[in-house]
Amino acid sequence: MLLTNAQVYCDATDTAPHSEIALNGAYVGTHFDGPKRDLGGRIVLPGLTDAHLHIFPLALFRLQLDIAAARITSIPALIDALHQVPDARRHGGWLQAAVLVEDTFTEARLPTRAELDAAFPDTPVFLRRYCGHVAILNTAALNALGLLTRQPNVASGSFRRDAAGNLTGQADEAAAAWIFARAPAPPDAQILSEISAVIDQCLAYGLTSLVEAAVGFTLGYDREAAIWTKLRAAGNIPVRLGFMNELTTDQAAARALTPQWDANWSSETLKFFADGIIGGRTGALSEPYCDIDTMGDVMHPPGVLQSQLTAAHAAGWRIAVHATGDRGISQTLDAITAAQGDDTSRRHRIEHFFVAPKGGLHTAANAGINVVTQPGFLHRMGTSIARGLGPRALGCVYPGASALAANVALAFSSDAPTGPLSPWDGIAAAITRRAPSGEPIGPSESLPFAQALNAYISGGAHAMRHDHFRSTLAPGQAADLVVLNMNPFTASPDELNDCRADLVMKDGKVVKDDL
Ligand SMILES: [Zn+2]
């Protein structure tokens, strides 16, 4: 196959695009072989990677009420929308809604148990905050889970209580995860078909490789792993997939799991948490937040994270640690460095790296650690970031330019549904770095377009350990490529939001064709 009349960028920083590209089976070739296809002057790029997203909840939330997607902006409107949910989407008789961003509500707060009880005295209602770490239940749901009579032990977070000792209906962290794993879920077949729909959405954005950032985050590890296994057995998956497992080394060993790397399907990473999130003011900072009297906190006492990571490294796993505050990131850098010793080849990862600690990027670069950030957050949550961090929001938050200067392996990602799924939204945010209100967030960290795109192409391939076979469109590399509906090199950041892939190939096979 020869693709002609095109502008083929071998990689994001290519300054001399070719007018054609030869495909030799699954690889980029050097000579014409078989039929020709005229691309009408369109841009061709290597397939993009989303190195951290949550495919499973994206799929599940398509079967619930997605509050952000439905553009619901008040508590009465949410209650109204819950009343409208058809029976077919009330799995086990429950009403479930997700992606609740209370900052976008006129009340600027989460709904209460009492408000939900007044509207739904008998129907269990379960809401999930967009961060994925907070659940809100009404009395019928608390009752259905037996929480009114007994309180399960959880490792972190809490089932919150008011001053009188009554459950407020809100649960955080491991307490929320306990609920996620027990609330009724749709049948596997329905979830599988929605996973395919999410993968199709990703292809339309030009993403050909995806990393599921936490197997076990939504329905518990075993149920989710069983569903992923069914997807793999069904075959014909049009993207390359990687998985981070939300398991400790002991939990992985108990399931006889070992790290597996394959060009199409890798499960070689265990996921850990160092702290919470900046939006929830639980990310561990070295100085207090500006709008609330807390510095956030690390999730583990000193030494515990390090011993978890040491065990994972020793068992051959790659490590991914969620760390957002500068204090949480420093603790993580120390723990990874100690866990890996002289072996800097494993490419352990730090997810988010929100408020960079002084010297942290150099430490990460020297330790061979991948930094995986989400520039799309800058736009979605910029106002809350600016409020919480104050003048620090003008410094090294969500590093871009300083990460490249430090020579760190930087990959961009969406963290969807927490951030917007489109990599083009992420690239626009990495360039403009503005909150919805227009406030600048770390303006000196802005990247030029090509560098931002590169963090989704070669940065993503590096994060998946795919760089030896698919980071460019040079001869001999895998023919994973996308043909775009516009020229993103000349588009404004606003125009980038409309960028889509009309034709997508993986391993030289067409997996999407709207050209
Ligand atoms: Zn995530």
Domains of the chain: 64-180 (3.10.310.70), 188-470 (3.20.20.140)
How many A from CA of 379 to the centre of ligand 1? 17
Return the bridge partners of 269, or none.
244, 318
Other CB atoms within a 10 A radius of the CB of residue 137 amount to: 27
Q: What digits encode the pLDDT tens for the residues 498-515?
A: 999 999 999 999 999 999
Yes or no: say if 188 and 29 are a contact pair by the CB < 8 Å rule. Answer: no
Distances in whole angstroms, Cα of residue 38 to Cα of each of 3, 20, 28: 6, 9, 17
* Nearest residue to 217 (alpha-carbon basis) of 189, 241, 245, 242: 245
How many A from CA of 119 to the centre of ligand 1? 32
How many A from CA of 182 to the centre of ligand 1? 21
Mean pLDDT confidence for 267-272: 98
Sequence-distant (6+) residues with CB within 8 A of 352 are 322, 323, 324, 372, 373, 374, 415
What is the predicted pLDDT for the residue at 144?
A: 97
Strands (DSSP E) found in 282-331: 318-323
C-alpha 489, offset from chain centre = 25
How many A from CA of 319 to the centre of ligand 1? 14
- For residue 265, the one-letter residue type is W
How many A from CA of 277 to the centre of ligand 1? 10
What is the predicted pLDDT for the residue at 424?
A: 98
* Nearest residue to 268 (alpha-carbon basis) of 334, 236, 231, 312: 312
Yes or no: say if 192 and 234 are a contact pair by the CB < 8 Å rule. Answer: yes
Mean pLDDT confidence for 10-25: 95
Mean pLDDT confidence for 7-20: 96
Distance CA 15, CA 11 (A): 9
C-alpha 82, offset from chain centre = 27
How many A from CA of 52 to the centre of ligand 1? 6
Distance CA 4, CA 130 (A): 44
Q: Is 292 helix (H, G, I), strand (E, B) or coil?
A: coil
Q: Is the peptide bond before 417 cis (omega within 30 degrees of 0)?
A: yes
Place of tokens 């490789």: 209
- For residue 434, the one-letter residue type is R
Mean pLDDT confidence for 364-392: 92
Distance CA 38, CA 22 (A): 12
Place of tokens 């350990």: 465
| pLDDT over 80 at 33, yes or no | no
Confidence of residue 449 (pLDDT cuts 50, 70, 90): very high
Question: What value does the CA radius of gyration of the chain take, rounded to a whole number of Å?
Answer: 23
Q: Is 246 helix (H, G, I), strand (E, B) or coil?
A: coil
What is the predicted pLDDT for the residue at 412?
A: 98
Strand order in the sheet with 65-66: 65-66, 95-100, 125-129, 134-137, 167-172, 159-161
Q: What digits encode the pLDDT tens for the residues 98-132?
A: 999 888 899 989 999 999 999 999 999 999 998 88
How many A from CA of 214 to the centre of ligand 1? 7
H or E element at residue 136:
strand 134-137
How many A from CA of 82 to the centre of ligand 1? 26
How many A from CA of 177 to the centre of ligand 1? 14
How many A from CA of 44 to the centre of ligand 1? 29
Yes or no: say if 379 and 434 are a contact pair by the CB < 8 Å rule. Answer: yes
Burial class (CB in 10 A: 0-12, 13-18, 19+), 192: middle
Burial class (CB in 10 A: 0-12, 13-18, 19+), 439: middle
How many A from CA of 99 to the centre of ligand 1? 13
* Nearest residue to 463 (alpha-carbon basis) of 273, 200, 225, 240: 240
In total, the chain counts a number of residues equal to 515
Beta-carbon neighbours within 5 Å of ion ligand 1: 213, 415
More confident residue, 61 or 482: 482
Six-digit token string for 124: 């269990």
What is the predicted pLDDT for the residue at 280?
A: 81
Q: Is 174 helix (H, G, I), strand (E, B) or coil?
A: helix
| pLDDT over 90 at 489, yes or no | yes
Q: Check the CA dihedral 273-279-282-288 and report its sign.
A: positive
Cα angle: 348, vertex 353, 354; to 5 degrees: 170
Mean pLDDT confidence for 57-81: 93
How many A from CA of 375 to the centre of ligand 1? 13
Burial class (CB in 10 A: 0-12, 13-18, 19+), 54: buried
Q: What digits encode the pLDDT tens for the residues 197-216?
A: 999 999 999 999 999 999 99
Give the chain's count of helices (H) and strands (E): 18, 23
How many A from CA of 129 to the centre of ligand 1? 13
